[in-house]
Structure 1
């Protein structure tokens, strides 16, 4: 792989976890990488240049893209990674909280993508990689709103890929399972807690924590993003890691009733 001609990459949410690892892997592979964080972040020592951006703010997103184009002249790859989680019963979140989650995980992707697309169209080529999740195709209990955001990104990405091929732009999804990051520590709590969900919510927190400890390293996801960004014939979806590949396979080929029972059993829910 020629490290001099992979182009310019923009990675949102690059200060920690999957985004941090992805920016490093892309930089090492030969991309010139700009990463973002919502708050002012110290510059990295690996060559990734950090910029501040709030993906929920139109002005902030526009400034980010203008700054990258002013510095590098082009954007060849956009990795939409910035996002947040929420664990709790679906009815435990107010509409305000639900809208806030969608503003980051869904509308944030829309904003950054829309801001980057004019430059990619002028170039006549580009790649967009959107970070989804296995919850983009397997909703998990007590993650109803988070799963909904990932389902939205799945549908958006698939439609967008059809629309943009005529301009030489391709869109792919990367779908990780559990990954060893601080995700579980940063899960938002519902803003209108109900006693009836206390036990189940606490149990799910334990399950998620244990699963994260055994999950894939962020580099596994980062290398999958690199594959999506550089494959000559990009696929629509990339499962990131062994567990994600297994879950994707089972979802497609195991009868729905059997899959449902297995999922509930693993999560300690009555079958």
Structure 2
């Protein structure tokens, strides 16, 4: 789902939310590819409105009912970009860092009410997400070459529901082998080594 409409309009009616809310999955996602300098504040705001504020609106719509009934599960789809850098996706990655911080903090707030807030962190996968990715609206020639390299890397990486049902849910679920490998490297590799790995993966010099 990709929308900035109020939650009640998207789900049908606010009364429907109040009747039953045991599971809420937020998969709203739009992207913006390009160097951070190439993305205007207006474009960044639109990405944040769907990826972050849309998720917050949905959460506030379903939480009251979940608390009242003494249980529920909110599953927020984040990204491997929620815990690692990704050049030429700075704005998108920023939204996923926000989703990570919001979801993990919220999980602690509502757990005593029987509600869990979980995160799914997919790596690059071949999905229709590309249709929701906008190119930077203020492109600069100085970034043109490396932006093209980034697009090639992303195309190559994309070749090729436990969170809702686990009795003892984990706070996060990695989706895909790439996400799992990157998570391990982020945790155990020295910062300098990991930094070099990011640049090598994205074919960047220096």
TM-score category of the 2 structures, normalised to the smaller one: over 0.9
2:201 maps to 1:266: yes
Whether the 8 Å CA contact 1:81–1:131 is kept in 2: the answer is yes
Q: SS of the residue aligned with 1:174?
A: strand
- Alignment match of 2:5 (pick from 57, 60, 69): 57
- Inter-partner Cα distance in structure 2 for 1:138 and 1:211: 16
Against the structure 1 CA distance between its residues 71 and 239, is the aligned structure 2 distance closer, same or farther, given a 3 Å change threshold? Answer: closer
- Alignment match of 2:173 (pick from 238, 242, 251): 238
Q: Deviations over 1:15-44 (max 9, x none)?
A: xxxxxxxxxxxxxxxxxxxxxxx5xxxxxx
- Inter-partner Cα distance in structure 1 for 2:112 and 2:80: 29
User: If the length of structure 2 is used for normalisation, what is the TM-score?
Assistant: 0.94
- Inter-partner Cα distance in structure 2 for 1:245 and 1:157: 20
1:176 paired residue number:
122
- Inter-partner Cα distance in structure 1 for 2:17 and 2:98: 32
Q: Number of residues paired by the alignment?
A: 206
- Inter-partner Cα distance in structure 2 for 1:175 and 1:229: 14
- Alignment match of 1:247 (pick from 182, 187, 195): 182
Q: Single out whichever of 203-212 and 178-187 deviates more from structure 2.
A: 178-187
Against the structure 1 CA distance between its residues 101 and 72, is the aligned structure 2 distance closer, same or farther, given a 3 Å change threshold? Answer: closer
Q: Deviations over 1:103-122 (max 9, x none)?
A: 00000000111111111111
List alignment gaps of at least 5 residues for structure 1: 1-12, 14-37, 39-53, 215-225
Give 1:213 shift. 1.4
- Inter-partner Cα distance in structure 2 for 1:182 and 1:117: 29
Give 1:182 shift. 2.5
Higher relative contact order (CA 8 A, sep 6+): 2
- Inter-partner Cα distance in structure 1 for 2:32 and 2:10: 27
Give 1:70 shift. 3.6
Whether the 8 Å CA contact 1:184–1:208 is kept in 2: the answer is no
Structure whose residues are more often helix by fraction: 2
- Inter-partner Cα distance in structure 1 for 2:27 and 2:122: 12
User: If the length of structure 1 is used for normalisation, what is the TM-score?
Assistant: 0.72
1:101 paired residue number:
47
